[in-house]
Structure 1
Amino acid sequence: MSATEHKTRTRPEDHPAYSKLIQLVNTWADQQETPPSESQVSESAALLASLVRDHGDVPAHVREAVVAEILTRVQTTVEPGVAVVKDRDPWIHELRNEPEFGWPYWDAYRQLLLEEGRGREPMQELRRSVEDILDLSGDPRLEGAWQRRGLVMGDVQSGKTSNFIGLMNMAADAGYRLFIVIGGHTEDLRSQTQKRVDEGFIGRRSLDAGGNGLYSEPECGVGVKRRHVSVISVTTEESDFEARSKRTTHFGNLSTSVSAPVVLVVKKNSKILQNLAEWLPSMGGVHGLNVPMMLIDDEADYASVNTNKKDKVESTAVNAAIRNLLACSQRATYVGFTATPFANVLIDPQAEDDLFPRDYIYSLMAPSDYMGALNYFDEDQGERHSRVDVGDAEDYFPFGHKRDIQVPGLPDSLKRAVVTFVLACVITDLRGDRSASRSMLVNVSRFNDVQSQVHRLVSAYLDEISGTVQFADPDEMATGTGPALVRSLYRTWLDEYSESEHSWIDVAAQLPSTVDVIETELVNLTTDKERQRRAQARARARHSHGRRVISVGGTILSRGLTLDGLVVSYFYQRTQLSDTLLQMGRWFGYRKGYQDLVRVWLDPEVRSWFRFVAFTLEEIRADIRLMESAGGTPQDFGLKIRRHPEALKITAANKMRHAESQVLSMSFAQQRLETKTASLAPTAWETNRRALADLMLACKGQAHDMSLPAERGAIDQHIGFSRVDRVAVEDFLQAFIPGPKDTNFSRTEGNLSLIAEYVRSEATRHGDLWDVAVIGGSGEKALVPGLDEPLPGNRRDTADVLEWRGRYLAFSSRRIASERNLLNVARKLHNGPTERWAHTARTDDAIKEYAVPGVIDRPILMIYPVSWTPEKLHPLQDPIKTEAGLLGLMVTFPAVRDELGHVVEATEKAQYVVNRVWMAEAGLLDEIDEEVGDDG
């Protein structure tokens, strides 16, 4: 299709029937039990098009666009969020089931998101996650004094703002009446958040009228969707909280005379927060403020954490101000949101009044259409979007430069990135998306003076491109010849976008009109007021043309600020802080309709750092899933954060004042692992009984099959099988349900436990043959599932019953195995060369238990059927018999050896920063006591 044809043909979204047909087909798709196929959506669009014929026949290209949009929505998937929770008292579902209870705020927000293109499954998951977080945040109907504190973690630019605005809407329906949103540390970020809150919660644009009070703009966003409900805003896009402003004098008693929800969006500034904390109590009358209050702390890892030295009692200013705000209301909940939770989870959980998320940690999952680390840093996928040819930048603005550096010009790599952005805007226009915003990020310095120099150079280069294409010879433009800039445009199109649907002739013809509207903008504190003025002018202009802008800046571009339609990024910065680094990646997010155009230029080492940090966060998520399955609480969350082997740090040192660095081996080679707890849930018993029966049947089958090497033998009061197929052991370990605090053995839905994963991944190192033994003890005999003969159970009468989101048995001294069990099994099953065991038969020079892993050749699984008679400890507790299915495990792995028999390191040791809970679990803190019994 030629450029002329593109100009005459309107884009599908502009056709008057498009929106109505989208709504009809989307409603139909929502009613299907399973996501419809492409052919089903096409048939539906064709049939439903007849219902919108008041606009004439719907053209084929409009129906095709509707089908493509609906398919995008129904094919987007998202995994449920996971939570580590303390003392959950569910209430939200009971409230939802009350027929007379309405949800006007949430329903309007839901409708807004659906009309904006939110898919069915992401919308369902948003509702689930918002309900879960609200459920954990506390019931606003509860009288008396209460406070809740939690943390919600999500990916950078993944929709956390949509989530907390959804939370505000549902919380308003449930009864919360005061909302404080800490919307960033700069006026840019605060104003950006206010604008989102206006559209998603308040329902009106909040703009000042000459500084003389609140000026109510016409309804927007949710305000168009709902009736008879309102929200009062004390702040506006233009103005932060001011205690003596005319807006604050409009309020009476927040506890008695204000019925609508009240919201404030404020900067993370200690003076503003403290002024607010001093103003709020006066709004509650003589008895103080008693309305349910929700304080949402966006970017909760930034400035909110107390960074004073460990031995100081007082808090840092912002931290103290937030705590003072929470103390303003007798009923308050704190919800922190962040993509980089390193600092938050390293807060000392024993500090009573700090902001540690003591009640819950909730991990949001990004939808499948989110462009995250895999898209940019994966060896296969990353090649499409990331570019690392930025070495020439070191001659212009080197890493570690000073504020007085003089930038001599633009490196060729940055020029190429600017040209790429111009071409991306051209293709956007050719696709008919003239109303779509497109932006470019240039982040090469943290100094304002250097940013100003780079901004002037980028502006001059953009002017040069504009002048060249405006006056170039048409034939030279059409062939990509002539001036150097024309040749550069053509070569860049060949390298970056020649696979798009548009030819160079189309691109060349569109270039002059596209480049003419591209602007540049310096984004730092020195330009704050001027940018605010221009943004407000654009807001009032209400024009439909999308903005095309190259934003040059530093710190402000590095956290929280969203660049609409970010398509090209040029990043030449280094930071040794993992959380700061990841926040600088503003290119993460959703790029609906232009994913193929996205490009990022960055240094190859920094690229590897981004990859490292992204996968460090995945480890934290995995730990959260394990702790959730084990029934843990935030206080029980033994967190480890992988430290980069070279220069990269996790977060600022003053945020890790309660953390320690530990070197951990992530291999189980030459180690013994035992379960130290057992679930008392009958469902766990039954699952473990079935898993044991399946394992025993597999072992017996292999022992009777001459083609397999398994052998069966009696070991004192134990039954053992030598050289069992690894797969049977792996299946057992995957099915096994341990008690809490046994995170190595805990599995999550859809994932292997750590130990099962290790068994599978290290099969080649440890071999495919195992020894398996069912260990007998001194208890009464009982039939072992899968075996024909009885075996005496293992009495653990002095083990204790504890409560931790479910009752469980804690084995004394954190052990299930008894002395010499491992030695006897290894010796009787001939695990290792015969000469190693010749002198070990009950003599004083026998190999010690801790040395057995260094002697054996095959891994060993030992299973302990447990009986328990509480007697004096728990006289009202029923005893547990051996056959109940209460099992303990011990798994022992041999050393990994080379061809000459020398022990080698199976996995490199990694350095981690660990919190106090992890240190306590590892026995490194004496002052934190573990609830475990004595030897039994």
Structure 2
Amino acid sequence: MTSKIKIIKEEGNFEVKLGERTLELIKRLEKLNEEEKETLLKESAEILSHCVNPIDTIGQITGLAVGYVQSGKTMSFTTLSTLAIDNGFRAIIYFAGTKNNLLEQTTNRLKRDLLTSSKNRKNYKVYQNPLSDDNHTNNIHNAFKQRNSPTILITILKSEKYITELAKLFSSYEIKTELGNNGVLIIDDEADQASLNRYARSNCKSADWEENQYSSTYASILKLKSSLPNHSYIQYTATPQGPLLINLMDLLSPEFHVVLTPGGAYTGGKAFFVDNPDLILAIPPKEVYHHKKNNLTECPESLVNALQVYLIGVALQVNIYEKEEFLSMMIHADRETDASKKFISWVSNIITSWGDKLALPDSDPGKLELLSSFEKNYNEAVRRIDSTPSFEKIMFEVLEVILDTNIHLVIGKNNPEVKSGNEKIDWNNASSHILIGADLLDRGFTVEGLAITYMPRNSVSKSNADTIQQRCRFFGYKKSYLDSCRVYLPIDSILDYCEYVEHEEIIRKQLKSSTLRELEQVMVLGDQLNPTRNNILSDDVIRHKLNGWRQMNALEHINENIEYVENFISSQSFEIYEDYGTVQRNHKFIKLPINDVIEFLNKFKIAGVPDALRKSSTIQYLRYLADKSKIDYAYIFLMAYDAPEGRERRLNDVNEHLFINNIFMGRSNDGGETYPGDKGIKMDDSLCIQIHKVKLKHNSSKWNQTKLYTLGLYYPEELSHTLIGIVN
């Protein structure tokens, strides 16, 4: 990296330059190699280039930055911040989550990364949860007026109270006058949580948009945005289902997006559930905790095993190999705090008991029994590690690990058993940490050095894809000690995560290759999961399965499709499928490479909803399968190829919605010759597309006797999936 580098993004709203603040930050990111630094800069500059020009402009824009869970999104928006400062933004606002521990975490990281010298303290002014009182208004007003023009950094809880206070502050005469039309950057961390309007579904049922309801946090965000004449709103998330599927008319719907690249040492869903599935261990159904359906009364055996595997791992990685300064274990049983209290009681008693027994003479029966128990888990703990020290040497260190283990209860602040529900964990104060908690261990919270995750939490109903993914605190930069990592989950949760990982990779591939409008807000998702919370989605969201037979209603672009299909037919060498004796029943077919089939679908024009969504998602899914070498070819059938007029089909009209009644001819038995019906004309294990020439029957002169081409699609069971999209 040199100070001569200049980043220019010609396709954006303004030229982005690399300046002193960013160069200073990048130089201090010693854990990144040069390639990772360049990627970080490139992606941060791409985000900023689409923002509104910060110099005396009126305008606003919303963008989306999509990363992986625990992949370094904070580093990304810190780099975005320094680039924004280098390019003229006067203030940056951070929505730092809905819990105080996340607010403190974000504030402390910004101070650590930016306020590294007395000189920098003159360049940045950091305020946490400022109020609109005279004191805060005067302080920020004076900071804006200072000769060296420090950048105002404001971290706030994502709550109606503090966002409304900030809107009042920026609406004050003093701040408004000083800021003028200069740019403000709003960074919404975990943007899919709390920010979106939870009344979206109920609002879509109202005939009058002026009667729309807004959730309090969402309404306060709109107030803040209206107080800033020039601002850019950047949504950061690893679970973009909500922002991608909210209605395009929503003020928080993104207009551009950037997919963030994790560093080379990142271990996410693919690393665990695809590349190293042996790191995932199933919790037996009888040991899966639920406060109503299975309220366990004694410590489950799988938790005992997990604790022993963890302690052996710490002994190896921290004490013997000295690869890590410390490691940690996370236990997340249930959102009910009583569950956390129960589990911490079990763990505390067990750890204390083990420490006492391991300190006894070697001949003590209690110690011998405990060593026998540890020996059963020794093989699991060292299974992936070469040249393993002896069991005796490891157990000698396990006692030291137990004596240097801190156990933390991480639950809400109103619990009298805890000094603070948001206690700051001093990670470097021990070689081992065990965290037991509920929702505070969810989204956004970083569990440093996490090696073992024990999460016997299972959903009774269908899970939300974005919710279960945000519990994956076990993702992160763990490549150096991945062989000592284990994740204990219920079987149903394992299946959900496997489904999600495939869904996530499809979304990221789509986002990398398309604009948001080209995507048509479509995502592919299995039946096991919902995309996100239903209340933030309007009724325009539809869900259709990609399985079995589906028909298209190609009632638009008729002439263009006729020309395209007839040129396609004349350019191919079709084979006779089977002779069923009549023009109406005889068909031809051709087997084509999957890329040729994708091209055919792409060029065949569909405008009606939801067929356009089906076409778009089918193409995206086929590309994904082709890239994964899961599909090489497909079949196209020319139905009733010798019927020049096509087959007659009725055009139905229901509530001004036109659709072809049924393009598929049914089964028949005529003179001993059995016809399986059009839906029997297929290759059972392959994607099949039928081209149907249709002559419409309708009571209007406009449509009656109209000839057109339309399609029938067959998705075999092994390729079946579900698409979710939004109609606009």
| TM-score after normalising by structure 1 | 0.60
Match of 2:375 in 1: 490
Match of 1:203 in 2: 115
Amino acid at match of 1:430: N
Deviation at 1:551, TM superposition (A): 0.5
Larger relative contact order, structure 1 or 2 (CA cutoff 8 Å, min sep 6):
2
Deviation at 1:159, TM superposition (A): 1.5
Match of 2:19 in 1: 103
Match of 2:48 in 1: 134
Match of 2:219 in 1: 320
Amino acid at match of 2:86: D
Deviation at 1:189, TM superposition (A): 0.8
Match of 1:873 in 2: none
Q: Is 1:348 matched up with 2:247? A: yes
Q: Identity rate of aligned residues, in percent? A: 18
SS of 2:480 mapped into structure 1? coil
1:376 and 1:744 mapped to 2: Cα distance? Answer: 31
1:190 to 103, 126, 150: 103
1:739 and 1:88 mapped to 2: Cα distance? Answer: 32
1:758 and 1:437 mapped to 2: Cα distance? Answer: 38
1:439 and 1:428 mapped to 2: Cα distance? Answer: 11
2:619 and 2:717 mapped to 1: Cα distance? Answer: 28
2:714 and 2:467 mapped to 1: Cα distance? Answer: 40
Match of 1:364 in 2: 260
Deviation at 1:251, TM superposition (A): 3.2
Amino acid at match of 2:277: G
2:689 and 2:405 mapped to 1: Cα distance? Answer: 67
Deviation at 1:563, TM superposition (A): 0.4
Would the aligned equivalents of 2:267 and 2:479 in 1 still touch at CA under 8 Å? no
Match of 1:163 in 2: 76
Match of 1:52 in 2: none
1:382 to 264, 274, 277: 277
1:591 and 1:843 mapped to 2: Cα distance? Answer: 61
Deviation at 1:654, TM superposition (A): 1.4
Deviation at 1:119, TM superposition (A): 2.8
Query: Would the alpha carbon gap of residues 591 and 348 (structure 1) be closer, same or farther in structure 2, given more than 3 Å must change?
Result: same
Deviation at 1:892, TM superposition (A): 5.7
1:190 and 1:733 mapped to 2: Cα distance? Answer: 49
2:639 and 2:84 mapped to 1: Cα distance? Answer: 59
Q: Which runs of 5+ in 2 are unaligned?
A: 3-8, 577-587, 651-659, 666-677, 692-707
Would the aligned equivalents of 2:412 and 2:422 in 1 still touch at CA under 8 Å? no
1:439 and 1:842 mapped to 2: Cα distance? Answer: 72
Match of 1:644 in 2: 527
| Residue-by-residue CA offset, 1:842-862 (whole Å, 9 max, x unaligned) | 699799994586597797899
SS of 1:156 mapped into structure 2? coil
Deviation at 1:409, TM superposition (A): 2.6
Would the aligned equivalents of 1:392 and 1:413 in 2 still touch at CA under 8 Å? no
Query: Would the alpha carbon gap of residues 349 and 744 (structure 1) be closer, same or farther in structure 2, given more than 3 Å must change?
Result: closer
Deviates more, 1:749-758 or 1:552-561: 749-758
1:662 and 1:844 mapped to 2: Cα distance? Answer: 30
2:195 to 292, 296, 304: 304
Q: Which runs of 5+ in 1 are unaligned?
A: 1-26, 29-86, 97-101, 205-218, 680-687, 704-708, 711-721, 772-821, 828-839, 863-888, 897-904, 918-936
Would the aligned equivalents of 2:160 and 2:217 in 1 still touch at CA under 8 Å? yes
Would the aligned equivalents of 1:678 and 1:740 in 2 still touch at CA under 8 Å? no
SS of 1:526 mapped into structure 2? coil
1:523 and 1:532 mapped to 2: Cα distance? Answer: 6
Q: Is 1:452 matched up with 2:344? A: no
1:461 and 1:604 mapped to 2: Cα distance? Answer: 26
Would the aligned equivalents of 1:399 and 1:573 in 2 still touch at CA under 8 Å? no
Match of 2:154 in 1: 264
SS of 1:662 mapped into structure 2? strand
Equivalent residues, number: 646
Would the aligned equivalents of 2:520 and 2:725 in 1 still touch at CA under 8 Å? no
Match of 1:586 in 2: 473
Would the aligned equivalents of 1:744 and 1:754 in 2 still touch at CA under 8 Å? no
Would the aligned equivalents of 1:152 and 1:336 in 2 still touch at CA under 8 Å? yes
Q: Is 1:662 matched up with 2:559? A: no
1:609 and 1:364 mapped to 2: Cα distance? Answer: 24
Would the aligned equivalents of 2:328 and 2:452 in 1 still touch at CA under 8 Å? yes
| Residue-by-residue CA offset, 1:312-370 (whole Å, 9 max, x unaligned) | 5231111111122222221111111112222222322224xx3121x213332444532
Query: Would the alpha carbon gap of residues 419 and 907 (structure 1) be closer, same or farther in structure 2, given more than 3 Å must change?
Result: closer
Match of 2:388 in 1: 502
Match of 1:619 in 2: 506
Q: Which residues in structure 2 correspond to 1:502-541 (within 5 Å)? A: 502-503=388-389, 504-526=391-413, 530-531=419-420, 535=424, 538=426
Deviation at 1:166, TM superposition (A): 1.1
SS of 2:530 mapped into structure 1? coil
Query: Would the alpha carbon gap of residues 356 and 285 (structure 1) be closer, same or farther in structure 2, given more than 3 Å must change?
Result: closer
Amino acid at match of 2:592: R
SS of 2:123 mapped into structure 1? coil
Would the aligned equivalents of 1:181 and 1:295 in 2 still touch at CA under 8 Å? yes
SS of 1:252 mapped into structure 2? helix
SS of 2:28 mapped into structure 1? helix
SS of 2:419 mapped into structure 1? helix
Would the aligned equivalents of 2:625 and 2:631 in 1 still touch at CA under 8 Å? no
Query: Would the alpha carbon gap of residues 854 and 459 (structure 1) be closer, same or farther in structure 2, given more than 3 Å must change?
Result: closer
1:454 and 1:287 mapped to 2: Cα distance? Answer: 54
1:147 and 1:400 mapped to 2: Cα distance? Answer: 48
Deviation at 1:891, TM superposition (A): 8.9
2:134 and 2:359 mapped to 1: Cα distance? Answer: 51
SS of 1:525 mapped into structure 2? coil
Deviation at 1:732, TM superposition (A): 9.0
Match of 1:811 in 2: none
Q: Whose strand fraction is larger, Structure 1's or Structure 2's?
A: 2
Q: Is 1:915 matched up with 2:726? A: yes
1:750 and 1:401 mapped to 2: Cα distance? Answer: 40
Query: Would the alpha carbon gap of residues 491 and 301 (structure 1) be closer, same or farther in structure 2, given more than 3 Å must change?
Result: same
SS of 1:233 mapped into structure 2? strand
Would the aligned equivalents of 1:559 and 1:583 in 2 still touch at CA under 8 Å? yes
| TM-score after normalising by structure 2 | 0.76
1:566 to 414, 436, 450: 450
SS of 2:187 mapped into structure 1? strand
2:492 and 2:506 mapped to 1: Cα distance? Answer: 21
The structure having more radius of gyration, on CA atoms, is 1
- CA RMSD, 1 decimal: 4.5
Would the aligned equivalents of 2:141 and 2:178 in 1 still touch at CA under 8 Å? no
Query: Would the alpha carbon gap of residues 140 and 119 (structure 1) be closer, same or farther in structure 2, given more than 3 Å must change?
Result: same
Amino acid at match of 1:588: F
